[in-house]
Structure 1
Amino acid sequence: MKKTDWIKVLLVVSLFGNLAFFQNHERASRKQDIRYELLNSNIYRDLAQLEETIQYQIDNNWKNEPLVTQKLDDAIDSILLSHVMEEDKNKEDILWELHEYLYKFKYSEETFDVILNDEQRFNFIYLGDKLRSSGWNYGVGDDLKWSVFKSKVKELVAET
């Protein structure tokens, strides 16, 4: 084979190699995006349900208090699941910050036989207000991009 033929063969092989690499990278990127959408949507759903449950209890004179603690546990579990599956240290830190913030509102491991005192109700009312003002409620579009998620977390955990 001539030298020019070898160059052509190398160019074709290189082209196919680069194409395969690009497709693999695109597939991995899309897989990561889908994972974020699924995991973040669970957190969005659980935090929106928590906010809705707190508001429902306020409107109904706290007739079924265990619902609030159950929804708080659901949200914490979703955050922990996302945290465990996360590979990016910065994103892990954001999820852990959200977990620590919500964990402050958990006062017992018991979730089914709960009687809240006035201070605990006040704390849940405060949490409901913070969730609502940060955009963790129904009726607000759920943009599942990480940057939007991160800004909502930062707004929620910010002290006022």
Structure 2
Amino acid sequence: MRKEDWIKVILVVSVLCNGALFASQKRMSRNQALKYELLNAYIYRDLTQLEATIKYQIDNNWDNEPLVIQKLDDAIDSVILHIGMEKDDDKEEILWNLHNYLKGYKVGDENLEGSLTNKQRTDYIYLGEKLRSSGWNYGVGYDTKWDIFESKVKGLIAA
């Protein structure tokens, strides 16, 4: 083959390889976006259920206190799942901050029996207010994109 033919072959192979690389990168990016959408939705769901449960308990004189503890555990579990699947250090740090914030509201061990003290109820009421004020409640549209999720987390854990 002539030199020009070799150049054409190399050019065609290069274009095909670049096309395959682009398609692979696009698929990986789409998969990453779906992962965030799913994992962020789990956390959003669990935090909104926690907020709704706290509100329900307040409205019903804390008649089923262990449910609040269970919903808090569900939210913490969702955060742990997201941490385990996160590869970006900055995002993982945000998730750890959320985990540590929520962990501060845990009472005792995994025991769901017994009743809450007045201080624990007050703490949960405060948590419910913080969740509502940062947009973690039903009736408010939500976006699972990372930037929106991150701003809500920062709003929640801000002092």
User: What TM-score comes out, normalization by structure 1 length?
Assistant: 0.98
Q: Percent same amino acid at aligned positions?
A: 62
Deviation string, structure 1 residues 17-68 (Cα, Å, up to 9, x no partner): 0000000000111111111111110000000000000000000000000000
Alignment-derived partner of residue 42 in structure 1: 42
- Rounded to whole Å, the distance in 2 between the matches of 1:143 and 1:77 is 21
The SS at the match of 1:4 is helix
Structure 1 residues 108-117 or 52-61, which shifts more? 108-117
- Rounded to whole Å, the distance in 2 between the matches of 1:61 and 1:118 is 12
* 1:71-110 to 2 correspondences below 5 Å: 71-110=71-110
Give the superposition deviation at 1:109: 1.5
* 1:52-63 to 2 correspondences below 5 Å: 52-63=52-63
Alignment-derived partner of residue 115 in structure 2: 115
Alignment-derived partner of residue 32 in structure 1: 32
RMSD: 0.7
Alignment-derived partner of residue 150 in structure 2: 150
Give ranges in structure 2 of 5+ residues lacking alignment: none
Deviation string, structure 1 residues 76-135 (Cα, Å, up to 9, x no partner): 000001001100000100000000001000021134203001100000000000000000
- Rounded to whole Å, the distance in 2 between the matches of 1:34 and 1:114 is 40
- Rounded to whole Å, the distance in 2 between the matches of 1:109 and 1:30 is 39
Give ranges in structure 1 of 5+ residues lacking alignment: none
Q: Check the 8 A contact 1:70/1:112 in 2, yes or no.
A: yes
- Rounded to whole Å, the distance in 2 between the matches of 1:21 and 1:110 is 48
Letter in 2 for 1:91: K
- Rounded to whole Å, the distance in 1 between the matches of 2:148 and 2:34 is 16
- Rounded to whole Å, the distance in 2 between the matches of 1:97 and 1:151 is 13
Give the count of matched residue pairs: 159
Q: Check the 8 A contact 1:83/1:92 in 2, yes or no.
A: yes
Letter in 2 for 1:148: I
- Rounded to whole Å, the distance in 1 between the matches of 2:42 and 2:98 is 14
- Rounded to whole Å, the distance in 1 between the matches of 2:37 and 2:131 is 20
Q: Check the 8 A contact 1:69/1:111 in 2, yes or no.
A: no
